């Protein structure tokens, strides 16, 4: 009980800190709100001192930050979230309306995501239900490619092809159910691919557990075994699902823009840029509340699914059996990527020739040229090093922080929810306020968010792992906490989280590029991959190759990361520690299970 | 067990009525009326949503004027001089006073446009905080001066007052528009051919034809306006037939429209390279001249703008129709020096997608001439402050050269004089200041234009501004639409003769 109160208090402190941080944003960033508000109202207006003074008087900014903040909080108690500094309209109805649209979009996207995840796991479920998982090779190339596709690209392709050229569905607006289909697909496909990969990663372990064997022996249908296996694995993903719910509600800016949806993402983006604090505070608060709700819901769901087993420590470890060695896929992906980079490096990525703009691929320009006539192969090749190194470094740091904080869920869970609920642009502004606009700032801004899904994943896996029999046994044999962590918990939790981190690597590269408009990160004419995608997006219809080339290498990177993670998975059981008695007993308890899994076909 | 599940599956259906509230209102196509000739409503896609609840004193003023909702006492004609609108005629009475004679017109709420109402409306504009841009630095007092006349007195002599009054932010609204609060509500209180009936936040607006408009009844029975910020989305909406008119089609999307569907007009917007004349490498006039020599301006209009721009001739482009005939050669240019690897901080913004491309071409051209160039691209509001403070050596800027007042001298005074409020080039040159001050005093339109061109020659002679292109704006217009107004000043879009 005391713990619960403490967690709640920590949650409230974080939310309050966030709202206050937003309230102090202009003073933290040393950017005059009167100025940004003026520019949001009318970009061409000259910011003369008289005009700025007029706006300050109008908004009551003369009293300083605390005055505005306490005024706003006081109004909030009376159910009044203030007036927008830009339009002067009431904030609450506007934010609620945007939230409604965003929630609906998120709901539809979630449906798509769940269906996508289901499709991705279909093969594993089928094989697992028939107990034929033993000899299968790790797949997942398709889902990795799907997971690394940028939302804005999927959105603009869907809008152009399905909406405009085929005319099957409306390409623009938000007026009824048929308008939700394309945006939901654009958001749901990549999200579903990530969730599907994570689930697919856990399922073989569940199918390998003794109960599955027993159930099969008793003659239960494959269908119900598969259902139970999903039920066994889903709790580990629920926290990430909760993060998606909040992330898709507040962070779907690109999709909202392409389809012209009046959602919360665009509202908060505009408010953050213009420092329209009342709107920004209300929007952030709404997202933080939603995050708390989503977390509560996932907790309840997890308890419904595996509650008794968790309480009684009656789970077994979700270790998947080792698939057969081999598979040249990672090598192949790596070689293709290397070849592209190598060929590109011999060419000039900056040489402009406007006479050669938007040329289709040819012998001279194997990947075609972009809107300024630059060779795309050269740009992709030269961008590879920067993009990969930075993204890999951020991912590694995020993995480290995510795992460390994931080990202390009571501290990190509210932190994860709160950080994840903050719109990305606001995170970037807050990070810039603290760290200045140095070279490391974009990496910090992306890293500040990138650890959250990993921490949530770690915590969820840890919760299950702690409830396993072998941990109880190891404890019984007198192992200390450090020993448990070092030899039992971490080896079980790390591999799936590492694979998760690799899966998100392309996303990190894209997030870096999306900060460019704040003057953070790579600037043109740098050939950084995210920037390549962004600058060629307007030409996607006329010169598809210009977006296809960077999207393809990014997808290749995703596939490489996932298949390389498969190789890691193969090595990890062999590395299981066995230096002490307790360690041996833990391993010894698990091994027979693993061996039993390997010969499931012989059981029937 | 099964029988238990079914009702549970149906339970979410109870939420369906709630969902309706989560969609945007508007977009109801059934309301668009018969498509046959008279009476059809126009569906217009605008690029900028209302920023300030349609307050007439800010940027929303342009929106109101483009949709034919509001009018001022005067308007701009094709030659950039003041033309009659709500005022039939005007005359100068002494140094500081002008007298405007009103025409017979009615407000959309039924009242008559009387001198008292006009004076009251102008008084509200002068009291607005912050003051409308067209009134910046001007003190103005309006009063009824008889049966049909309004007398306007300014504190200082104002030779361009009729031009100034054409600004959309000085539109005339009836008494009902000004409530007790500060907010000004133009819905149903203006004088134009179309009357706002409903505004759905920043999503859409509905307008009906105003039958008693003084200029005759409009042919379209109304307008359904949608605000779509994304250029590609706007173009897509036109292509799928959801819109009849799409404003400001991005250059990159123009090729996806039929040739008949895209109409382009020269605008008063000029894209230039501004060189910081008071700090950094370009403090040296010789290096500015070297930069001018390095630029090959022909590629910008043709390639980057894909022909939707005119090669630069000066500060004023072809949309300023009188400029070409009066242009004189730049005065006092310095001889070019060798660049010698001087490092240049070049900046631009990405709110207009072509500008980063222009800047990258500029970068390459300068580098070929021996400069070392570092490029910064940010969102405009994150950049302007630094630019005005002179933190960049060079800046690619798209600037409207006729500004809010339609007065050609205003842009020179604001951008290139020592006291100018928008002097990104940081130019402070006695010759330029003198020439601009000279031009500001002249009341006669033709002579003022001559003086403006003399000042332009001075400004160009300093090499602090290197014009690159004069932009053209592309409007997507469905085949069925007739009578579109393609206005170089971007103040009108739909008029009484527009129909589909």
Could you read off the pLDDT of B88-116 as tens digits, one per residue?
999 999 889 999 999 999 999 999 999 99
Inter-residue contact B353 to B250 (CB < 8 Å)? yes
Establish if B127 touches chain A: CB-CB under 8 angstroms: no
Residues B203 and B296 in one domain: no
Residues A303 and A333 in one domain: no
Give the pLDDT band (50/70/90) at residue A320. Answer: low
Query: Hunting for tokens 């598969």 — which residue is that?
Result: A226
Establish if B366 touches chain A: CB-CB under 8 angstroms: no
Contact check, Cβ <8 Å, B22/A103 = yes
pLDDT of residue A375: 93
Rounded mean pLDDT, B231-245: 92
Q: Which residues of B fall within a CB distance of 8 Å from A524? A: 356, 359-360, 375, 377
**What is the distance, to the nearest Å, from the Cα of residue A216 to the centroid of all Cα atoms in its chain?**
36
Q: Using CA atoms, how far apart are residues A29 and A428, in angstroms rounded to an integer?
A: 11
Residues A305 and A162 in one domain: yes
Q: Is B7 inside any structural domain?
A: no
pLDDT of residue A354: 85
Residues B482 and B422 in one domain: no
pLDDT digits (tens, 9 = 90+) for B173-217: 999 999 877 789 999 999 999 999 998 888 899 999 999 999 999
pLDDT of residue A317: 66
Residues B222 and B276 in one domain: no
Rounded mean pLDDT, B142-152: 92
Q: Is A140 inside any structural domain?
A: yes
Q: How far is CA B237 from CA A253, A374, A423, B430, in A?
A: 19, 31, 28, 51
pLDDT of residue A30: 81
Q: Which of B27, B240, B360 is opposite residue A171, by nearest beta carbon?
A: B240
Residues B82 and B132 in one domain: yes
With a CB cutoff of 8 Å and minimum separation 6, the contacts of A549 are A367, A368, A376, A377, A380, A532
Establish if A526 touches chain B: CB-CB under 8 angstroms: no
The domain that holds B287 is classified in CATH as: 3.10.105.10
Residues B95 and B213 in one domain: yes
Q: Is B31 inside any structural domain?
A: yes
Closest CA to A257 of A534, A550, A551: A534
Contact check, Cβ <8 Å, B364/A352 = yes
Contact check, Cβ <8 Å, B240/A175 = no
**CA angle at A124 for the pair A120 and A130, rounded to the nearest 5°:** 145
Give the pLDDT band (50/70/90) at residue A138. Answer: low
Residues B422 and B285 in one domain: yes
Q: Is B296 inside any structural domain?
A: yes
DSSP letter string, B221-252: SEEEEEE---HHHHHHHHHTTS-SEESS--HH
**What is the distance, to the nearest Å, from the Cα of residue B386 to the centroid of all Cα atoms in its chain?**
23
Q: Is A355 inside any structural domain?
A: yes
Q: Is A30 inside any structural domain?
A: no
**CA angle at B342 for the pair B336 and B346, rounded to the nearest 5°:** 100
The domain that holds B51 is classified in CATH as: 3.40.190.10
Contact check, Cβ <8 Å, A355/B303 = yes
Of residues B328 and A436, which shows the higher confidence score?
B328
* A98-107, A462-471, B33-42: range with highest mean pLDDT: A98-107
Mean pLDDT score across all residues of chain A? 83
Q: Which residues of B fall within a CB distance of 8 Å from A274? A: 381
Locate the DSSP E strands across A56-211.
Answer: none
Considering its fold, how many domains does chain B have in total?
2
Q: Which residues of A fall within a CB distance of 8 Å from B384? A: 39, 47
Q: Which residues of B fall within a CB distance of 8 Å from A174? A: 23-24, 27
Total-model pTM: 0.86
Closest CA to A508 of A570, A582, A558, A581: A558
Residues B465 and B482 in one domain: no
Establish if A169 touches chain B: CB-CB under 8 angstroms: no
Query: Hunting for tokens 């997006």 — which residue is that?
Result: A537
pLDDT of residue A602: 31
Q: Is B130 inside any structural domain?
A: yes
Minimal Cα distance from A260: which residue of B? B228
- Checking A428-433 for CB contacts under 8 A at 24+ apart, the result is A428/A515, A428/A518, A428/A520, A429/A25, A429/A29, A429/A272, A429/A518, A430/A21, A430/A25, A430/A28, A432/A29, A432/A518, A432/A520, A433/A25, A433/A28, A433/A29
Minimal Cα distance from A256: which residue of B? B230
Phi, psi at residue B412, to the nearest 5°?
A: -65, -40
With a CB cutoff of 8 Å and minimum separation 6, the contacts of A8 are none
Mean pLDDT score across all residues of chain B? 89
Contact check, Cβ <8 Å, B24/A163 = no
Establish if B32 touches chain A: CB-CB under 8 angstroms: no
Considering its fold, how many domains does chain A have in total?
2
Q: Is A66 inside any structural domain?
A: no
Q: Using CA atoms, how far apart are residues B182 and B201, in angstroms rounded to an integer?
A: 19
pLDDT digits (tens, 9 = 90+) for A500-541: 898 888 888 888 877 777 777 778 888 888 888 888 888 988
- Report whether pLDDT(B61) > 70: yes
Residue to mutate among A34, A40, A42, A519, with most B CBs inside 10 A, is A42
- Report whether pLDDT(B385) > 80: yes
Q: Is A51 inside any structural domain?
A: no
Establish if B351 touches chain A: CB-CB under 8 angstroms: yes
Rounded mean pLDDT, A539-546: 89
Residues B432 and B482 in one domain: no
Minimal Cα distance from A357: which residue of B? B303
Locate the DSSP E strands across B332-371.
Answer: 343-349
**How many other β-carbons are positioned within 10 Å of the β-carbon of residue B175?**
14
Residues B331 and B363 in one domain: yes
- Report whether pLDDT(B318) > 60: yes
Q: Is B244 inside any structural domain?
A: no
pLDDT of residue A589: 35
Residues A307 and A338 in one domain: no
The domain that holds A234 is classified in CATH as: 1.10.3720.10
Structure tokens at A166: 């085929």
Q: Which residues of B fall within a CB distance of 8 Å from A273? A: 379, 381-382
Residues A299 and A349 in one domain: no
Inter-residue contact B106 to B122 (CB < 8 Å)? no
CB burial string A544-562: b at 16+ within 10 A, e below:
bbbbbbbbbbbbbbbbbbb
**What is the distance, to the nearest Å, from the Cα of residue B222 to the centroid of all Cα atoms in its chain?**
24
Structure tokens at A135: 């000899």
Establish if B37 touches chain A: CB-CB under 8 angstroms: no
What was the ipTM of the complex prediction? 0.84
pLDDT of residue B16: 64
Residue to mutate among A85, A260, A543, with most B CBs inside 10 A, is A260
Q: Which residues of B fall within a CB distance of 8 Å from A535? A: 356
Residues A308 and A335 in one domain: no
Rounded mean pLDDT, B260-282: 93
Give the pLDDT band (50/70/90) at residue B8. Answer: low
Residues A546 and A434 in one domain: yes
The answer for B 216-275 residues in CB contact with A (under 8 A) is 226, 228-233, 236-237, 239-240, 242, 250, 252-253, 255-256
Q: Is A371 inside any structural domain?
A: yes
Residues B320 and B424 in one domain: yes
Phi, psi at residue A83, to the nearest 5°?
A: -110, 145
Contact check, Cβ <8 Å, B421/A46 = yes
Residues A455 and A562 in one domain: yes
pLDDT of residue B345: 95
Q: Is B238 inside any structural domain?
A: no
pLDDT digits (tens, 9 = 90+) for B414-442: 899 998 888 999 999 999 999 999 999 89
Q: Which residues of A fall within a CB distance of 8 Å from B27? A: 173-175
pLDDT of residue A327: 65
**How many other β-carbons are positioned within 10 Å of the β-carbon of residue B100?**
25
Q: Using CA atoms, how far apart are residues A187 and A181, in angstroms rounded to an integer?
A: 10
Domain that holds residue A497: 329-567
- Report whether pLDDT(B498) > 80: yes
H or E stretch at B273: strand B262-275
Q: Using CA atoms, how far apart are residues B183 and B190, in angstroms rounded to an integer?
A: 15
B465: region left, alpha or beta (phi > 0 left; psi from -120 to 50 alpha): beta
Establish if B88 touches chain A: CB-CB under 8 angstroms: no
Q: Is B236 inside any structural domain?
A: no
Establish if B126 touches chain A: CB-CB under 8 angstroms: no
pLDDT of residue B13: 63
Structure tokens at A196: 């599907």
Q: Is B287 inside any structural domain?
A: yes
Residues A306 and A355 in one domain: no
Residues B96 and B146 in one domain: yes
Domain that holds residue B410: 267-472
Give the pLDDT band (50/70/90) at residue A45. Answer: confident
Q: What percent of chain B has pLDDT over 70?
A: 93
Contact check, Cβ <8 Å, A371/B357 = yes
Q: Which residues of B fall within a CB distance of 8 Å from A171? A: 233, 236-237, 240
Q: Using CA atoms, how far apart are residues B491 and B42, in angstroms rounded to an integer?
A: 18
Rounded mean pLDDT, B53-76: 91
Minimal Cα distance from A51: which residue of B? B130
Residues B451 and B482 in one domain: no
Residues A279 and A349 in one domain: no
pLDDT of residue B38: 58
Establish if A257 touches chain B: CB-CB under 8 angstroms: yes
Q: Is A3 inside any structural domain?
A: no
pLDDT of residue A559: 84
Q: Which of B242, B302, B381 is opposite residue A39, by nearest beta carbon?
A: B381
- Which one of A312, A340, A361 terminates a domain? A312
Residues A347 and A412 in one domain: yes
Q: How far is CA A158 from CA A167, A172, A581, B226, in A?
A: 11, 11, 58, 22
pLDDT of residue B434: 95
């Amino acid at each position: 009980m005391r713990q619960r109160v403490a967690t709640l208090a920590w949650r409230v402190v974080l939310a309050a800190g966030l709202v206050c941080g937003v309230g102090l944003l202009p003073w933290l960033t040393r950017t005059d709100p009167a100025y940004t508000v003026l520019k949001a109202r009318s970009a061409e207006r000259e910011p003369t001192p008289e005009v700025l003074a007029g706006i300050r008087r109008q908004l009551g900014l003369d009293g300083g930050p605390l005055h505005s903040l306490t005024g706003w909080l006081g109004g909030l108690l009376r159910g009044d979230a203030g007036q927008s500094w830009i339009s002067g309209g009431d904030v609450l109805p506007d934010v609620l309306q945007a939230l409604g649209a965003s929630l609906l979009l998120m709901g539809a996207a979630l449906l798509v995501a769940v269906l996508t995840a289901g499709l991705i796991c279909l093969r594993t479920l089928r094989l697992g239900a028939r107990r034929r998982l033993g000899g299968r090779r790790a797949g997942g190339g398709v889902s990795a490619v799907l997971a690394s596709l940028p939302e804005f690209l999927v959105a603009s392709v869907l809008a152009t092809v399905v909406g405009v050229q085929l005319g099957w569905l409306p390409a623009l607006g938000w007026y009824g159910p048929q308008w939700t289909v394309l945006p939901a697909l654009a958001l749901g496909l990549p999200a579903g691919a990530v969730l599907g990969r994570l689930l697919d990663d856990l399922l073989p372990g569940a199918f390998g557990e003794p109960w599955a064997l027993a159930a099969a022996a008793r003659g239960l249908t494959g269908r119900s075994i598969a259902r139970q296996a999903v039920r066994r694995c889903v709790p580990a993903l629920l926290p990430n699902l909760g993060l998606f719910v909040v992330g898709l509600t507040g962070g779907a800016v690109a999709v909202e823009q392409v389809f012209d949806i009046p959602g919360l993402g665009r509202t908060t983006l505009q408010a953050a840029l213009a420092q329209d604090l009342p709107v920004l505070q209300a929007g952030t608060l709404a997202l933080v509340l939603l995050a708390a709700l989503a977390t509560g819901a996932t907790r309840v769901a997890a308890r419904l699914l595996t509650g008794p087993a968790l309480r009684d420590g009656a789970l077994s470890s979700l270790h998947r059996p080792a698939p057969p060695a081999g598979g040249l896929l990672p090598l192949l992906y790596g070689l293709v990527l290397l070849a592209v980079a190598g060929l590109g490096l011999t060419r000039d990525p900056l040489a402009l020739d406007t006479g050669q703009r938007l040329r289709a691929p040819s012998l001279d320009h194997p990947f075609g040229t972009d809107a300024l006539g630059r060779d795309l192969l050269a740009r992709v090749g030269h961008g590879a090093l920067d993009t990969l190194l930075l993204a890999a470094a951020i991912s590694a740091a995020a993995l480290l922080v995510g795992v460390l904080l994931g080990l202390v869920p009571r501290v990190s869970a509210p932190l994860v929810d709160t950080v994840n609920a903050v719109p990305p642009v606001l995170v970037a502004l807050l990070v810039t306020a603290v760290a200045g606009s140095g070279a490391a700032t974009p990496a910090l801004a992306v890293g500040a968010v990138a650890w959250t899904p990993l921490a949530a994943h770690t915590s969820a896996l840890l919760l299950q792992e702690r409830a396993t029999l072998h941990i109880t046994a190891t404890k019984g044999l007198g192992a200390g906490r450090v020993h448990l962590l070092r030899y039992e918990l971490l080896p079980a939790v790390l591999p799936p989280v590492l694979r998760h981190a690799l899966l998100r690597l392309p996303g990190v590269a894209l997030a870096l590029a999306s900060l460019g408009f704040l003057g953070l990160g790579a600037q043109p004419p740098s050939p950084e991959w995210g920037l390549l995608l962004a600058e060629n997006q307007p030409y996607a219809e006329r010169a598809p190759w210009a977006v296809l080339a960077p999207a393809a290498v990014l997808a290749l990177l995703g596939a490489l990361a996932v298949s390389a993670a498969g190789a890691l998975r193969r090595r990890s059981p062999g590395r299981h520690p066995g230096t002490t008695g307790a360690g041996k007993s833990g391993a010894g308890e698990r091994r027979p299970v693993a061996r039993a899994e390997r010969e499931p076909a012989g059981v029937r | 067990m099964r029988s238990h599940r079914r009702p549970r599956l149906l339970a979410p259906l109870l939420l369906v009525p709630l969902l309706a509230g989560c969609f945007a209102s508007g977009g109801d196509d059934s309301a668009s009326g018969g498509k046959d000739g008279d009476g059809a409503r126009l569906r217009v896609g605008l690029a900028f949503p209302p920023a300030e609840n349609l307050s007439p004193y800010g940027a929303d003023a342009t929106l109101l004027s483009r949709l034919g909702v509001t009018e001022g006492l005067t308007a701009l004609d094709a030659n950039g001089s003041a033309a009659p609108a709500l005022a039939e005629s005007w005359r100068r009475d002494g140094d500081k006073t002008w007298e405007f004679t009103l025409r017979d017109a009615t407000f959309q709420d039924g009242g008559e446009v009387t001198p008292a109402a006009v004076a009251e409306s102008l008084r509200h504009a002068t009291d607005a905080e912050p003051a409308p841009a067209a009134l910046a630095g001007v003190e103005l007092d309006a009063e009824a001066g008889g049966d049909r006349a309004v007398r306007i007195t300014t504190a200082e002599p104002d030779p361009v007052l009729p031009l100034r009054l054409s600004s959309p932010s000085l539109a005339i609204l009836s008494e009902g528009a000004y409530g007790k609060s500060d907010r000004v509500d133009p819905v149903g209180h203006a004088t134009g051919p179309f009357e706002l009936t409903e505004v759905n936040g920043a999503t859409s607006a509905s307008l009906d034809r105003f039958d008693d408009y003084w200029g005759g009844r409009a042919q379209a029975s109304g307008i359904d306006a949608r605000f779509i910020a994304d250029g590609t989305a706007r173009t897509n909406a036109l292509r799928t037939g959801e819109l009849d008119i799409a404003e400001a089609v991005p250059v990159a999307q123009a090729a996806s429209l039929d040739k008949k569907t895209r109409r382009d007009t020269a605008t008063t917007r000029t894209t230039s390279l501004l060189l910081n004349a008071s700090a950094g490498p370009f403090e040296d006039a010789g290096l500015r001249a070297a930069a001018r020599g390095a630029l090959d301006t022909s590629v910008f209009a043709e390639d980057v703008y894909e022909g939707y721009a005119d090669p630069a001739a000066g500060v004023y482009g072809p949309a300023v129709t009188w400029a070409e005939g009066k242009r004189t050669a730049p005065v006092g240019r310095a001889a070019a020096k060798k660049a010698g690897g001087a490092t240049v901080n070049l900046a631009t913004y990405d709110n207009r997608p072509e500008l980063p491309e222009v800047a990258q071409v500029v970068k390459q051209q300068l580098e070929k001439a021996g400069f070392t160039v570092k490029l910064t691209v940010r969102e405009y509001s994150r950049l302007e402050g630094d630019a005005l403070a002179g933190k960049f050596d060079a800046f690619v800027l798209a600037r409207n050269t006729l500004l809010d007042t339609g007065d050609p001298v205003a842009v020179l005074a604001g951008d290139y004089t020592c006291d100018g409020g928008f002097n990104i080039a940081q130019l402070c040159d006695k010759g330029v200041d003198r020439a601009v001050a000279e031009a500001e005093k002249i009341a006669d339109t033709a002579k003022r234009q001559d003086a403006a061109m003399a000042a332009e020659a001075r400004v160009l002679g300093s090499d602090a501004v290197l014009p690159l292109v004069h932009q053209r704006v592309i409007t997507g217009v469905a085949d069925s639409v007739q009578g579109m107004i393609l206005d170089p000043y971007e103040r009108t879009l739909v008029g009484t003769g527009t129909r589909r």
